[in-house]
Structure 1
Amino acid sequence: MKTITLVIASLIAFSGAAYAADATAPVKEIMDATKSNWADNNSDWTDVFEASRLDHLYSQDFVARYKAAAQFPAADDDGISPFDYDVIVNGQDACPLEDMTMAAAPPVNGTTEVTVRFQKSACADTADAKDYTTVRFEVVEEAGQAVIDDIVTENLETHGRDSLKATMALIAKGQ
């Protein structure tokens, strides 16, 4: 009897996992756009925060924070973005992205951390050209769909982590 109960419990747990949203899907779409943005032959920049992406790739909380921060554009020439840098590569300059890897950790309290690593300066002639950049996407499920709730980058000065949601909150406060 214990065996049957264990088998049934395992099947129920497995079936729930099979129907869970793919946490890497929204991250892959953002990383594909970012990789294309930094490709050698790319002339069209893809905004990873354009309206159609905001609608389906990001959580409601992230979108609300982005829209509040967007009231304070970083540059007058576009008048849209609250950022004056690429938030994924965490800088204004990069080479074509190389050696990209993506891995999802098991969910913790409803959040799946998807870690992306890549080389953003491989074409540069500098000592840190082969260093890896690590970006962590916090992915949650809303309405049965995996969506990005935060983008966390490494702070090169403090060696800590910088939350994009926290940065957007500061921008929205005019800071």
Structure 2
Amino acid sequence: MKTPRSFLLLASLVGAPVAAFAADPTVPVKTVIEVAAGNWSETSPTANDVFDNERLGQLFSADFANVYREASKHPAYDPPEGETTGSPFDYDPIAGGQEGCAFENIRVEDDGEGQVTALFNNRKCLGDDPAYKEDTVLIFHVVEEQGRTVIDDMYRLEDGQSGKSLKDELKDIAGQ
């Protein structure tokens, strides 16, 4: 009796390690960095919100999205007429400020165990100070949710240490 190939393939997949099917944890981080980098492009900057509803639903955990939506009820600036929510940030949390340069030398690395690090330089154009030549380093905490990898939090590296949680910052804003 012949065994169908599809059965053999299925049988071999059943024994395969689960990790082989895990989503690439760098994908949501790369997407966020690409959107932010586009906003700071020297040639044709975009005006895309990293935290728009579509990206909140696709790239971020349900918990992060809920915390962001609560914080957006306290926008940093007056929202357009007829709108009641807006960005809770008065700065770009990816670029790390209101001033910056085009992102250069972007790298996204899977550090394992739910941590992905993004490194880039976005301050070279600000001057000759050695600090402007240092990379911006963001540490993303990613989780598996409904079969996909999503961002649950982000931390900026400050003086070699993990800075404040972006989600905690949003919770502080929402608590106003």
TM-score under structure 2 normalisation? Answer: 0.83
Which residue among 58, 61, 69 is the counterpart of 1:59?
61
Which residue among 56, 63, 86 is the counterpart of 2:92?
86
Is 1:137–2:137 an aligned residue pair? no
The structure whose Rg is larger is 2
Is 1:27–2:35 an aligned residue pair? no
Which residue among 143, 147, 152 is the counterpart of 1:149?
152
Residue 43 of structure 1 and its aligned partner are, at CA, apart by 4.0
SS in 1 for 2:133: coil
Q: Which moved more, 1:18-27 or 1:125-134?
A: 125-134
Q: How many residues end up aligned between the 2 structures?
A: 159
Residue 15 of structure 1 and its aligned partner are, at CA, apart by 2.9
Kept after mapping to 2: 8 A contact 1:136/1:151: yes
Residues 1-175 of structure 1 correspond to what in structure 2 (within 5 A)?
15-78=17-80, 80-107=86-113, 112-127=114-129, 128-155=131-158, 160-174=162-176
**1-side partners of 2:32 and 2:63: how far apart?**
18
> What CA RMSD, in Å, does the superposition of the two structures yield over aligned residues?
1.9
TM-score under structure 1 normalisation? Answer: 0.84
What is the CA deviation profile of residues 29-83 of structure 1, one whole-angstrom value per residue up to 9, with x for unaligned ones? 1111111111102343110000110111100100110011001000115551000
Kept after mapping to 2: 8 A contact 1:115/1:135: yes
Structure 1: runs of 5+ lacking an equivalent: 1-10
Q: Which moved more, 1:117-126 or 1:60-69?
A: 117-126
Kept after mapping to 1: 8 A contact 2:103/2:122: yes
Structure 2: runs of 5+ lacking an equivalent: 1-12
SS in 1 for 2:89: coil
Runs of 4+ in 1 over 4 A off after TM superposition: 11-14
**2-side partners of 1:35 and 1:142: how far apart?**
26
Identity value in percent: 36
Decide whether aligned partners of structure 1 residues 60 and 41 sit closer, same or farther in structure 2, where only a CA change above 3 A counts: same
